[in-house]
Amino acid sequence: MSGKFITLEGIDGAGKSTQLDTIQHWLEVRGVVVRRTREPGGTALAEALRPLLLNTPMSPLSEALLVFAGRHDHVTQVIEPALARGEWVLSDRFVDASFAYQGGGRGLSQDILKTLETWVCADFQPDLTLWFDLDPDIAAQRLARARQEGDRFEREERAFFERVRAGYEARSHLPRVYRIDAAVEPRTLAEQVDGVLRRAFPSLAGSP
């Protein structure tokens, strides 16, 4: 039986990466083999593209072409083979990020993004997407507290992240997307995640 594909989405600093361990543990104690990955990245080629994307100024179309080039490698070399082996794939970002960042944030047309999505993903979609929704001011405070030197996305102004957030909101009608209120402490966030996983995968919902 093929595995399931779960993606985590949200603006920078929303707290996705912090919840990845929780989700991986939730699955593994139920006997699921988890393949954890991320975008941009996930393969040698896509990881090589990642610093270019995060650090080199470029046009919105170049950004989109690079993320989709990496995504093609990621889907064909890592995600699909893992799912075929029956593993569950947990990815920190996937295609919704392109609609939110390049579409919402940078203003690239939906038609271009849909065309790239069709070329690269055909009808391949995540089974479940957790959208960590957070006010950009709170996200910025979290990143500032972490004192990391921001990449060129993280250094964007509030208005950019408002547009990215709106880009995610515009996709939240998709049945696979569950909105998580990320403006809460990590333990409360983990409780929401637990609730979503139980609803999405009722056969695993019982205590392990």
Ligand X SMILES: Nc1ncnc2c1ncn2[C@@H]1O[C@H](COP(=O)(O)OP(=O)(O)OP(=O)(O)O)[C@@H](O)[C@H]1O
Ligand Y SMILES: Cc1cn([C@H]2C[C@H](O)[C@@H](COP(=O)(O)O)O2)c(=O)[nH]c1=O
Q: Does 16 bind ligand X (CB under 6 A)?
A: yes
Transcribe 80-95 into DSSP letters.
HHHHHTT-EEEEE--H
Residues 66-125 interacting with ligand Y (rule: CB under 6 A): 67, 92-93, 97-98, 101-102
Q: Which helix (H) or strand (E) holds 200?
A: helix 186-200
| CA angle 93–94–97, rounded 5-degree value | 75
| CA angle 84–88–90, rounded 5-degree value | 125
The Cα–Cα gap between 164 and 133 comes to 11
Which residues lie across from 132 on neighbouring strands?
Answer: 10, 180
Residue 122, binding choice from ligand Y, ligand X, none, Cβ under 5 to 8 Å by partner class: none
Q: Does 189 bind ligand X (CB under 6 A)?
A: yes
Closer to ligand X by Cβ: residue 16 or 165: 16
3 annotated among ligand-binding-site residues = no
Q: How many residues bind ligand Y (CB under 6 A)?
A: 12
Residues 148-177 interacting with ligand Y (rule: CB under 6 A): 153
Numbered residues of the known binding site for ATP = 10-17
Residues binding ligand Y (CB under 6 A)? 12, 38-40, 67, 92-93, 97-98, 101-102, 153
